[in-house]
C-alpha cells in the first residue's frame, strides 16, 4: 500500500474538480434558471471564466501550502474522498444537463445516464482504493 502526501491528494482532488466544474456549473445554472443573456454572454463563456478562476484559486492555494502539505501524510483521506464523491456526482448530473442543453435527443438520456454512471462509479471506486485508501465495497485490506 502506497501512502501519498496531502499535497498529492489535494492536487488529484483539484484535477478531478476541474474536470467536473463546467458540467457542475451547467447543472447549477439550469436548476436555478440563471441566464446570462442580459450581459451579452453565453453560458459557455461564463463557465470557461469560472473554470479559469477556480483553477487559478486552486493553483494559488496549492502553491502557497506546498511546503506544509508536502510533508504531511495520512493513512487514509476520507474527507477528501467524500468531497471527490460529491463533486463527481454533481458533475455527472451536469453532463446529462449539458447533453440535453446542447440539443441531444431526449430518448437517449437514460442510455447515456446508465453508461456514464457506470464509468463514473468505476472511476471513483478505483481512485478511492488506489489513492485515498478508502473502499466503497467490501472490507478494508489493512
- Cα pseudo-dihedral 43, 49, 52, 55, rounded to 10: -70
How many domains does the chain divide into? Answer: 1
For residue 1, being part of any structural domain is answered with no
Q: Is the pLDDT of residue 32 over 80?
A: yes
Residue range(s) defining the domain that contains residue 110: 6-130
* Per-residue model confidence (pLDDT) at position 98: 87
| Tens-digit pLDDT profile for residues 44-85 | 888 899 999 999 999 999 999 999 888 888 888 999 999 999
Residue 77 has which C-alpha cell? 483521506
For residue 140, being part of any structural domain is answered with no
Alpha-helical (H) ranges within the chain are: 6-31, 43-64, 66-69, 78-101, 109-130
For residue 20, being part of any structural domain is answered with yes
For residue 41, being part of any structural domain is answered with yes
Amino acid at each position: 500500500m502506497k501512502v501519498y502526501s496531502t499535497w498529492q491528494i489535494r492536487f488529484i482532488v483539484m484535477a478531478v474538480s476541474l474536470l467536473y466544474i463546467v458540467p457542475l456549473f451547467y447543472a447549477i445554472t439550469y436548476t436555478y434558471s440563471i441566464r446570462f443573456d442580459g450581459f451579452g454572454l453565453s453560458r459557455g463563456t461564463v463557465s470557461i471564466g469560472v473554470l479559469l478562476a477556480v483553477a487559478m484559486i486552486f493553483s494559488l492555494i496549492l502553491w502557497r501550502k506546498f511546503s506544509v502539505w508536502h510533508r504531511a501524510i495520512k493513512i487514509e483521506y476520507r474527507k477528501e474522498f467524500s468531497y471527490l464523491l460529491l463533486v463527481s456526482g454533481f458533475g455527472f448530473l451536469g453532463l446529462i444537463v449539458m447533453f440535453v442543453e446542447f440539443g441531444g435527443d431526449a430518448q437517449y438520456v437514460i442510455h447515456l445516464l446508465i453508461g456514464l454512471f457506470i464509468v463514473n462509479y468505476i472511476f471513483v471506486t478505483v481512485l478511492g482504493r488506489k489513492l485515498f485508501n478508502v473502499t466503497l465495497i467490501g472490507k478494508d485490506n489493512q
